[in-house]
Structures are given as structure tokens and as C-alpha cells.
Amino acid sequence: MRSAPEGRTPAGRLRLLAVDVETTGLDPARDALLAVGFVPVDGTRVDLRGARRVVVRHDGDPGPSVALHGLTHDVLSDGVPLEQVLAELLAALAGRVLLAHHAPLEIGFLDAACRRLTGSPLRTPVVDTVALQRRLVTSAWEPEPAPGSLRLWAARRRFGLPDVPAHDALSDAIACAELYLAQVAELTAAGGGQEPTLSRLRATGGWRSALRRRWR
């Protein structure tokens, strides 16, 4: 299995996998994973050839979140077993960094699935575009971001990126990947042309602490 990138790897040579999930709620201890979308990011390129959206088979009630993601009982009953979805995702993630917007949500559900199905936690380096955006929109003079400015669509608009349909796992994963590339470009410019390394990109993450706070 290909090893994860080292911390000194510059962004231009970094291999990531942008991931988004749709769920019945926000608590992986109680709620179910309904769909996973992912797309590879190789350096400064989003590789749409590797883009994938997989619906997880779910026979229970999708809950009120169905109004957002549109994954009805009929769609979910034709989905793929979670074991197969997880195996496909982990294969795509091998040798890559997991990239997500508000990563604690994705990590929480994927870690719970790994523990339940494999007996081991999810082990992967993580870059969180929410954390990167916070770095870009705050300063010593403005230590707190404006309300709503860290949301995916607000963050994209700051870079002139177009709005795309929300609450679809693949669309959201691609939207996250595009935002990440814009963020890296700004961080590179702010660094006098020096690309940030994986260590620097991860420095603002703190997803493990956020996970312990249960995403409040």
C-alpha cells in the first residue's frame, strides 16, 4: 500500500482525496452514512476521471435530512453495502491526504465505519478547508470570521468560484477541491511564491479536538 505523503511535501506535489458524506444526522454514534462522494486532487489539478459518488444501502428511515440530499428510501434500498463503499473509499485514499470542508463530520462517520467493520480506526492525514479559510479571513485585527463566512459556498464566492448544487456528495467534494486549490494559490502568494507544505496545511486542522467536541 502506498504510504501517506510526508509533512514536508509541498502543495504542488501533494496527492489528496476530497471527500464529502451525506448522513441521516450529525452524530456517527446514532446516525447513518447514506452517501460518499470523492475526487482526487493531484498537486494543482482536480482529476475528474477519479470522481465517484456511491450511495450506501440503507433500509431504515432516511430522516428529515432527505429534504436536503434527496436520498429517498427507494434510492437507498438500491445502494451498495457499507462494507463495499468503505473498501472503495479506502482504496482511493491510499497514499493520499483526506481533504474535506469541516473535516470532523467526514472523519467522524468514516472513523466509526472503520472501527465497526474493520476493528481499526481511520488513519489518514487530514486537511480541512474550513481551517484554511479561517486562516485566510482572520487576522490580529479581525480574530473572528464574519458569521457564515466559513461556509463552503461563502468561501467559494470569496474567490469568485461559481455556486453549484448543494447537498450532493460528489458536487460538494468537487466544490471543496476547487476551494482548496484557490486557498493554496492565495497562501502561496502570501508566502512570496513559496508553496505551503502538508505540515503547514494541516497546522490549522485540529479535527481531533473538534471531533471530541462533537461538532458543536
pLDDT at site 204: 59
| Series of mean pLDDT values for 10-residue runs along the chain (216 residues) | 87 98 93 96 97 92 68 83 97 97 97 96 96 93 93 96 90 98 97 96 59 35
pLDDT at site 75: 80
CATH numbers and ranges of domains, the chain:
11-212 (3.30.420.10)
Buried b (16+ CB within 10 A) or exposed e, 176-213: bbbbbbbbbeebbeeeeeebbbbebbbeebebeebbee
pLDDT at site 86: 97
pLDDT at site 70: 64
pLDDT at site 214: 36
pLDDT at site 165: 81
